[in-house]
Amino acid sequence: MPSDSTPDPADELSRLFSTGEAVARYPRVTELLAAVEPPAFTRACHQLARLDPDAVAAAHPDRPAVTVAITGHGTLSTLVPPLTGELARHGILLRPHVSDFDSYVFDLLDPDSDLYGHGADLTLCVLDPMIVFDEVPVPWRPADVQRVLDEKLRTLERIAATFATASRGMLVLNTIPLPRRFTAQLVDHRSRSELGAVWREANARLLRLATSAPNLVVIDTDPLVAEGIPVTDARMSTYAKAHLSAELLARYARETGHLARHSAGRTKKCLVLDLDGTLWGGVLGDDGVEGVELSDSPKGEAFNGVQRAVKQIGSQGVLVAVVSKNELDLVRAAFRDRDDAELREDDFVRVIANWRPKHDNLKELAQTLNLGVDSFVFVDDSALECGLVRSELPGVAVVRVDGDPALHVEKILRDGWFDTPELTADDQQRVVRYQEELVRKDFLDSFDSVQDFLRELKVTVRLAPVQDAEIPRVSQLTLRTNQFNLTTHRLQQAQVRELAAGPDTRVLTIHSGDRFGDNGLVGAVFTRRHQDALHIDNFVLSCRVFSRGIEQTALAAVLEQARTDGLRAVYATYRPSKKNGAVRDLYPRYGFTPGTEDGDTLVFRHDLRLLPDRPEHVSLHEDLQVECDD
């Protein structure tokens, strides 16, 4: 609870809306949303939905916005308020477009429809039980339901195929929940079992549809309903044709908010955990290595479950770190000597244990990993520590896991901070590569000069056109990279594939490695040939490999190839954002001169007369030859 001197977040939200300050202080509104629970959050969602998105965008031009088209079978206007609030909670402005009632087939099968005309980042096709039961005869049997489901799945397959060619955004479907009021209309349990099997098989086919369509996500509603959320409200379904309950739509909106956060490049990258009361019970300094709870008691088993969940998260490319007020040697002994510990020190990208303020340690960790602090999710059981981090580092997502450790996992996972539409091969290696990066930093500290370090690092770069299997990773780089992203254009896989296949556009991948290992696919250059000039439309590079000459090597190779191809100039685009200021001078640094300005976008020109040198310490392997037609 807030203290007497601290305004209640719900009261402050109400005041901002009632006084008309919500637009001007929109960033503060989004901060407060993270600190309120229902029903205050629900009220704020409805108030946010009444704000003019254009007015918010004008007052805060650096605020990312996501356009969401909403279509389906039933009435869906009630989805807009929770969706507005969920996106705002992640600092994202919603631009919604709601289609007419029961227009999803016409909307999505016609590439010239108004829905496609909005160019939405996310298109939500919300499926409800009445999409089936509005079309079954009376009386009906499970076989009748199966026939309708088969027809609907064929239509959805056609929709997915049409969407893949007509839109550059992401299509979101959902599994269809089965309300009891339909199963109960079958009086024999054998028929109920048959209906359940038919329904689940159809949903399984729907879920598998996403495996073959890179720009399709299917939200599984079963885990949401399993939380006790009602599927429908009988009165709203009957009288308003709103066939999914407000509670279920609110949880659906939360899942969609995670996708929007990814689309806007705001996915979190690092889970930072406290130890005492968070990953084990008791106080290590008082109880000793053998005294902290990790097994042999109900609470100990609960903490063991927390460690298992953290290990699972870390196995999928999420960086996991520790920031604890403890003695480092004692912490290392606990991870080393406790046989019942699921986590070991090498599961973490960094273990920080000292008596400094935790927000200072978080800032130092961000510098070490070359990440922004807004990439962090910080988990602690202390209200004081959580409050200090919120106050000192507002960009950090803070999760307080006070009380019962059996609830820790639910609290850590509730907001889907690390959700991504698809894991790439690079994700599986991310933790190892960051650990190798820390070894490189230690290696750097052993040299008197950076040049000596770079010479001994033996950097290699491979520059080549993107391969089909690399498209998910290239899309991910545009979505997740913020610092070295010259235009911050976020591209879905379909957009990358389109650019790679275009007659005048190319997507070049940058792979790097050195004496410590393979860094993998770390960057991409997006080029477009127009008449006798080459345009670099974007250039992205992972923060893991900054300042090693990789960017200079890639850029020099692109310029050299342009001159070899007989082009007269190369134009390059830079669009400033809150995070990419460090690369503002990238192009001038290598011989580009300022050209035109298009709004907030700067265009630079290189005449190809004096090309930048390739760094001597980098070994380049390239395949940039353009195949010419006979």
- 627: Cβ contacts below 8 Å, ≥ 6 apart: none
Answer yes or no: is 170 within a domain. yes
Reduce the DSSP state of residue 294 to 3 states and report it: coil
Sheet with strand 122-126: strands edge to edge: 93-98, 65-72, 122-126, 170-174, 216-219
Say if residue 333 is in the same domain as residue 369. yes
pTM metric for this prediction:
0.81
- pLDDT value of position 107: 95
- pLDDT value of position 181: 93
Q: Which helix (H) or strand (E) holds 529?
A: strand 517-530
- 25: Cβ contacts below 8 Å, ≥ 6 apart: 16
Compare 578 and 292 and report the one with higher pLDDT: 292
If you search the block for the tokens 């029903």, which residue do you land on? 39
Q: What is the pLDDT of residues 236-259, one digit of tens each?
A: 999 999 999 999 999 999 999 999
What CATH number is attached to the domain comprising 326? 3.40.50.1000
- 245: Cβ contacts below 8 Å, ≥ 6 apart: 229, 230, 231, 232, 233, 236
Give the C-alpha separation, 111 to 114, whole Å: 9
Q: What is the pLDDT of residues 485-515, one digit of tens each?
A: 999 888 888 899 999 999 999 999 999 998 8
Domains held by the chain: number: 4
Q: Is the pLDDT of residue 627 over 70?
A: no
Q: Which helix (H) or strand (E) holds 365?
A: helix 358-369
309 close to 298: Cβ distance less than 8 angstroms:
no
Give the C-alpha separation, 254 to 263, whole Å: 14
Say if residue 392 is in the same domain as residue 506. no
Asked which of 381, 413, 445 is the last residue of a domain, the reply is 413
- Rounded to 5 degrees, φ, ψ at 584 are -60, -35
Reduce the DSSP state of residue 332 to 3 states and report it: helix
What CATH number is attached to the domain comprising 430? 3.40.630.30
Tokens matching residue 566? 């007989």
Gyration radius from the chain CA atoms = 27
357-376 burial, b for 16+ CB within 10 Å, e for fewer? ebbebbbebbebbbbbbbbb
Give the C-alpha separation, 49 to 378, whole Å: 29
Say if residue 176 is in the same domain as residue 290. no
Say if residue 354 is in the same domain as residue 478. no
Question: Which parts of 481-608 fold into alpha helices (H)?
Answer: 493-501, 550-564, 586-589
Q: What is the pLDDT of residues 554-582, one digit of tens each?
A: 999 999 999 999 999 999 999 998 888 88
Q: DSSP letter for 83, please.
A: H
Say if residue 440 is in the same domain as residue 528. yes
Give the C-alpha separation, 553 to 457, whole Å: 15
DSSP string, 212-281: G-TTEEEE--HHHHTTT--S--HHHHHHH---S-HHHHHHHHHHHHHHHHHHTT----EEEE--BTTTBB
Burial class (CB in 10 A: 0-12, 13-18, 19+), 388: middle
Say if residue 390 is in the same domain as residue 470. no
Asked which of 413, 446, 462 is the last residue of a domain, the reply is 413
Answer yes or no: is 628 within a domain. no
- pLDDT value of position 6: 61
Average pLDDT over residues 471-475: 92
Q: What is the pLDDT of residues 8-42, one digit of tens each?
A: 888 999 999 999 999 999 988 988 888 888 889 99
CA dihedral of 612, 613, 615, 619, whole degrees rounded to 10: 110
Answer yes or no: is 56 within a domain. no
- 622: Cβ contacts below 8 Å, ≥ 6 apart: 462, 463, 464, 557, 561
Answer yes or no: is 180 within a domain. yes
Q: DSSP letter for 535, please.
A: E
- pLDDT value of position 8: 85
Work out the pLDDT band at 629, boundaries 50, 70, 90.
very low
Give the C-alpha separation, 592 to 378, whole Å: 42
Residue type, 327: E
Domain that holds residue 36: 1-51
- pLDDT value of position 213: 81
Answer yes or no: is 553 within a domain. yes
Give the C-alpha separation, 39 to 463, whole Å: 53
- pLDDT value of position 626: 52
Say if residue 444 is in the same domain as residue 530. yes
54-58, 388-392, 621-625: range with lowest mean pLDDT: 621-625
Give the C-alpha separation, 495 to 490, whole Å: 9
Cα 308 to chain centroid distance, Å, stands at 23
Give the C-alpha separation, 68 to 71, whole Å: 10
Q: What is the pLDDT of residues 64-114, one digit of tens each?
A: 899 999 999 999 999 999 999 999 998 899 999 999 999 999 999 999 999
Answer yes or no: is 554 within a domain. yes
Say if residue 81 is in the same domain as residue 228. yes
Give the C-alpha separation, 100 to 329, whole Å: 63
459 close to 512: Cβ distance less than 8 angstroms:
yes
Beta bridge mates, 322: 273, 351
321 close to 352: Cβ distance less than 8 angstroms:
yes
- pLDDT value of position 31: 85
Say if residue 241 is in the same domain as residue 362. no
Answer yes or no: is 219 within a domain. yes
Distance spanning both ends of the chain, measured CA to CA: 75
DSSP string, 463-515: EEEPPGGGHHHHHHHHHH--SSBSS-----HHHHHHHHHSSSEEEEEEEEEET
Average pLDDT over residues 423-435: 79
Give the C-alpha separation, 332 to 345, whole Å: 7
Tokens matching residue 460? 């290699």
Give the C-alpha separation, 129 to 152, whole Å: 12
Work out the pLDDT band at 63, boundaries 50, 70, 90.
confident
Q: What is the mean pLDDT of the chain?
A: 91
> E-assigned strands of 333-424?
350-354, 376-380, 397-400
349 close to 370: Cβ distance less than 8 angstroms:
no
Cα 547 to chain centroid distance, Å, stands at 26
Q: DSSP letter for 485, please.
A: B
- pLDDT value of position 307: 97
Tokens matching residue 457? 């690092």
Work out the pLDDT band at 628, boundaries 50, 70, 90.
very low
Say if residue 364 is in the same domain as residue 505. no
Say if residue 552 is in the same domain as residue 530. yes
- pLDDT value of position 593: 93
If you search the block for the tokens 């009086």, which residue do you land on? 187
Q: Is the pLDDT of residue 424 over 90?
A: no
Answer yes or no: is 629 within a domain. no
Interstrand relation of 122-126 and 65-72 (parallel, antiparallel or unpaired): parallel
- pLDDT value of position 4: 47
If you search the block for the tokens 């890179």, which residue do you land on? 214
Asked which of 219, 243, 263 is the last residue of a domain, the reply is 263
Give the C-alpha separation, 434 to 483, whole Å: 17
pLDDT cut 70: percent of the chain above it: 98
35-49, 118-132, 138-152: range with lowest mean pLDDT: 35-49
pLDDT cut 90: percent of the chain above it: 72
Give the C-alpha separation, 197 to 200, whole Å: 5
Residue type, 39: P
Say if residue 513 is in the same domain as residue 372. no
252 close to 81: Cβ distance less than 8 angstroms:
no
Burial class (CB in 10 A: 0-12, 13-18, 19+), 154: exposed
Tokens matching residue 351? 């273990």
Q: Which helix (H) or strand (E) holds 526?
A: strand 517-530
